[in-house]
Amino acid sequence: MNRRQIDKIIVHCSATKAGKAFNAVDITRWHKERGFVTIGYHYVVLLDGTIEAGRPESQIGAHCKGHNARSIGVCYIGGLDSNGNPCDTRTPAQRRAMRQLIDSLRTRYPSAKVIGHNRLSAKACPCFDAESEYESSRS
């Protein structure tokens, strides 16, 4: 199998209000409406901690301009408070699932750095400091 060279795991939020349940099918629809071929992320973490697959890891994502070719995109549902302001809205189940997913990705891509979308683009996403939170995930 011809694997892509991955040097970043980029963490995103869906920029949806806290507690509103969406999934990879919804994001696929939103991305297609914006002209994407399909969902831009490789993984979506639902409110209950379920991890849904988006694009296959073997395919280049469409989640962070200029960084897609060498990255994996992980998105959690949420990121906005009830007033629509950026906020870390991850549920305890999402926090656990994201930790497990990122640990698994780091096992497969040991040289990859975990980074928040906001470090690469002028956005609030993912609405928390992904680098600090997942620094201890390094094996």
Sorted by sequence, the CB contacts under 8 Å of residue 132 that are 6+ apart come out as none
Catalytic residue among 42, 76, 117, 127: 117
Q: Does 63 qualify as catalytic in the annotation?
A: no
Q: Does 41 qualify as catalytic in the annotation?
A: yes
Q: Does 67 qualify as catalytic in the annotation?
A: no
Catalytic residue among 20, 67, 113, 123: 123
Catalytic residue among 13, 64, 125, 127: 125
Q: Does 42 qualify as catalytic in the annotation?
A: no
Sorted by sequence, the CB contacts under 8 Å of residue 16 that are 6+ apart come out as 22, 77, 78, 79, 80
Short-list 133, 116, 3, CA closest to 64? 116
Tokens of 43: 């993984």
Catalytic residue among 8, 12, 31, 42: 12
Catalytic residue among 13, 31, 41, 75: 41
Q: Residue 98: is it exposed, middle or buried by C-beta count within 10 angstroms (0-12/13-18/19+)?
A: buried
The one-letter code for the residue type at 84 is: G
Q: Does 117 qualify as catalytic in the annotation?
A: yes
Measure the CA–CA gap between 10 and 67, rounded to whole angstroms. Answer: 9
Active-site amino acid positions: 12, 41, 117, 123, 125
